[in-house]
Amino acid sequence: MYMTFRWFGENDPVTLKNIRQIPGMHGIVSAVYDVPVGEEWPYGKIAGLRDRVEAEGLKLSVIESVPVHEDIKLGLPTRDRYIDNYCRTLKNIGKAGIPVVCYNFMPILDWTRSGLDFEWEDGSTSLIYEEASVVRMNPRSGDLALPGWDTSYSKDEIGRLFRAYESVDEEKLWENLAYFIERIIPAAEEAGVRMAIHPDDPPWPIFGLPRIMTNARNFERFLTLSDSPAHGICLCSGSLGADPANDVAEMVRTFGSQGRIHFAHLRNVRIDGEKDFKETAHLSSAGSLDMGAIVAALYAVGFDGPFRPDHGRMIWGEIGRPGYGLYDRALGAVYLNGLWEGIARARA
């Protein structure tokens, strides 16, 4: 596997020069951030991003993500126009030579946390999820303030979206996902792009919204929607691992042996109770996940795709985008590379 790093563009306090200095760094995971959700990404913008990354000696390895418009998830009559735009975007991404697109099918919310500044004994801080705090929130009023929350929605739009999803249960969401996959995977194949769906984060329903990319059984169902090699998953250890019922290493062995893992997010969490967890340093000893076993499973199935160190703590006085500071993610990258090298030497 080869290491990549998430970069949020020119407004990211972490620079490409910073990222290139991390030992073993190969590529960048990024996106075009100034095109409205649902509209086609112009080839020029994608190529410009690629050229900016390559000018720093790195490769634009993954687009994360091309957002899926809510009308598609809701199954509204307008979805076909947005799916057509999505297919044209995939064509432009393939033309630019970018091989992987990561996306998700989570209604309204992307990854969800209830707090951003839990302080550990050593003074570092991290994102946390506490179910009791989330239950007390009332998103249908339009008032929603969450770490990492996309503020592109107005208060009225948030309330409208939550009301719209009252008629969408899990089976309806599966139906809408199948409709989407049936149309985008041929476009991805033609473009030479592999699609990697991200697990729901955390992997359970939130605010009454359905969530379906949550466990091995559901990923098996998802993969039956298309037998194309372009149709695959993003294996996110922290998202899936927040539910102790998910054996992440076993999921790697199952789906990796099928060649369906196209991208990997590697991070650790400490589970503190039912639907309560904190993001930690990447080390196995820091959290509830055996990162050594997960990396060993990736090695065993011959995974040769991109991975990135995922969310980290904020350390050494760093401030910036929650979960996406430079220092702890860089430490995580070095740790993960060390695990991989050690496993490779032991099995040589």
Task: Set out the domains of the chain in order of their start, with CATH numbers.
Answer: 2-347 (3.20.20.150)
Confidence of residue 138 (pLDDT cuts 50, 70, 90): confident
Q: For residues 168 and 107, is the Cβ–Cβ distance under 8 A?
A: yes
Burial class (CB in 10 A: 0-12, 13-18, 19+), 168: middle
**Contacts of 341 by beta carbon, 8 Å cutoff, 6+ apart:** none
Catalytic status, residue 82? no
Q: What tokens were used for 194?
A: 């592999």
Backbone angles phi, psi at 119, to 5 degrees: -100, 125
From residue 46, give the alpha-carbon distance in Å to each of 29, 39, 189, 320. 12, 14, 19, 25
Question: What average pLDDT does the structure give for the chain?
Answer: 94
Of 12, 87, 236, 328, which residue is the catalytic one? Answer: 236
Tell me how far apart the alpha carbons of residues 106 and 236 are, in angstroms, rounded to a whole number. 14
Q: For residues 163 and 140, is the Cβ–Cβ distance under 8 A?
A: yes
Catalytic status, residue 236? yes
For the cut 70, the answer to whether the pLDDT of residue 149 exceeds it is no
Would you state the pLDDT for residue 164?
93
Would you state the pLDDT for residue 111?
87
Of 12, 71, 201, 310, which residue is the catalytic one? Answer: 310
Q: Who wins on pLDDT, 138 or 341?
A: 341
Taking the CB of residue 251, how many other CB atoms lie within 10 A of it? 23
Q: For 56-77, what is the mean pLDDT? A: 97
pLDDT tens digits, residue range 173-227? 999 999 999 999 999 999 999 999 999 999 999 989 999 999 999 999 999 999 9
pTM of the predicted structure, to 2 decimals: 0.95
Tell me how far apart the alpha carbons of residues 189 and 141 are, in angstroms, rounded to a whole number. 42
Catalytic status, residue 310? yes
Q: For 244-248, what is the mean pLDDT? A: 97
Of 69, 198, 262, 282, which residue is the catalytic one? Answer: 198
Residue type, 127: L
For the cut 70, the answer to whether the pLDDT of residue 288 exceeds it is yes
Of 69, 311, 328, 335, which residue is the catalytic one? Answer: 311
Residue corresponding to tokens 């998103």:
139
Would you state the pLDDT for residue 145?
66
Q: For 58-62, what is the mean pLDDT? A: 98
Q: For residues 292 and 284, is the Cβ–Cβ distance under 8 A?
A: yes
**What percentage of the chain reaches a pLDDT higher than 90?**
86
Q: For residues 288 and 296, is the Cβ–Cβ distance under 8 A?
A: no
Of 265, 282, 299, 335, which residue is the catalytic one? Answer: 265
Catalytic status, residue 26? no
Of 82, 103, 129, 324, which residue is the catalytic one? Answer: 324
Q: For residues 278 and 248, is the Cβ–Cβ distance under 8 A?
A: no
Tell me how far apart the alpha carbons of residues 80 and 63 are, in angstroms, rounded to a whole number. 22
Catalytic status, residue 282? no
